[in-house]
Amino acid sequence: MISLAWLYQQYENLKKAHEEYLQRHCWKHAAAANAQPEGVMCSTNSKDNDKSGLCILGHRTSFFAPKPRLSREEKWAERENELLDIALHLLEQEGFAEFSMEKLIRNCNFSKGTVYNHFSGKEDCQAALCLRGMHYVGELMTRAYAFDGHARERLLAFHFAYSLYSRVNPTMFLSVITCRTPGFQEKVAPERALKIIEMDRYLFQLAGDALRKARDEGALPVDENLDEIALTFLNWSTSFGVCALTTTGFDTESSRAIRQRNLPLMAANLMMDGMGVMPSSKEWDYDKTWDRIAQEVFAPELTMLLHNQRPELAPQGEQ
């Protein structure tokens, strides 16, 4: 006659054998479960939800799924973004003049050769940071132009987006100025320099598209003396100049007075009134529009800034 003790012992032996099997072959089950991230516990509680044959006699079975493998390109992008995060921190702490590849190498967990595989020098590293910022500006501008308003309000959203960018990350914003100097550009890797040119064209096209739409909607009058390229450049350079000077400041008294006024909005209204974009600032309350843009488009970023936090930037390789 089979005793209850014998049955229990057989159950324990079977359970132990099954768990040993899972430890040796869990990668097969992980593949079937779309390879859960490393450290995530995969488990089953009953036969009802047991789709991979992991449950024995209703016993809860668990295992750790292996981390999915990254492609060579994904590993490269992940490592480069980590290096750029460190470089940005160093630039914020010590400034552009004090930044060096030696400091970057000392503050990262990669070898000197690995770091130089990514960046030919400090100028190339700063150019990569500039490129990351340009991608982020493109994202903000795209969101700005989706604002639910008339043509001039959407143009105003562009100025808001650029002002927000300079506040979200002033160091990355100012890196654009550094990267424009001739001596600097000569030391940037040709492939990266080409990417910056391509992003310049893309961002300029975004800004131009908004003006073209304003003209198509009748909000911007046709002026033979001011072509589309000139208007786009003037609109953008006004926004950039105001943001650059308010970010860096120039003297104590002026800086205090400036911080008490909404200069990006004032500059945008002066520029668009001069261009003849309708309705004019005398006919429409653009202060209310500015507040609407803040609440309807960029509330998450502004909330984080209010708490001295920085919105997370998408890795450059994922743009």
Evaluate whether residue 69 is within a structural domain. Answer: no
pLDDT of 3: 57
The answer on 239 and 136 residing in a single domain is: yes
Which residues constitute the domain of residue 39?
A: 14-64
pLDDT of 19: 60
Evaluate whether residue 296 is within a structural domain. Answer: yes
Evaluate whether residue 132 is within a structural domain. Answer: yes
Residues 165 and 103 sit within 8 Å (Cβ to Cβ): no
What is the residue whose two structure tokens read 């909005």?
Answer: 265
CATH of the domain at 290: 1.10.357.10
Burial 91-122 (b: 16+ CB within 10 A, else e): beeeeeeebebebbbeebebeeeebeebbbeb
The answer on 147 and 31 residing in a single domain is: no
Task: Supply the DSSP symbol for 43.
Answer: E
pLDDT of 10: 59
Burial 190-218 (b: 16+ CB within 10 A, else e): eebbebbeebeeebeebbbebbeebbeee
Token pair of 99 as six digits = 């930044």
Query: Would the pLDDT of 285 be above 80?
Result: yes
Q: What are the tens digits of pLDDT across the range 186-238? A: 999 999 999 999 999 999 999 999 999 999 999 999 888 888 899 999 999 99
Largest interatomic CA distance in the chain: 106
Percent of the chain exceeding pLDDT 70 equals: 74
How many structural domains is the chain composed of?
2
The answer on 252 and 128 residing in a single domain is: yes
Evaluate whether residue 274 is within a structural domain. Answer: yes
Judged by average pLDDT, the poorest of 7-11, 92-96, 274-278, 296-300 is 7-11
Q: Structure pTM? A: 0.74
pLDDT of 258: 73
CA atoms lying within 13 Å on the CB side of residue 226: 17
Residues 150 and 289 sit within 8 Å (Cβ to Cβ): no
Q: What are the tens digits of pLDDT across the range 60-103? A: 444 445 557 889 999 999 999 999 999 999 999 999 999 999 99
The answer on 146 and 281 residing in a single domain is: yes
The answer on 218 and 145 residing in a single domain is: yes
Average pLDDT (133-143) is 96
The answer on 126 and 58 residing in a single domain is: no
More confident residue, 266 or 65: 266
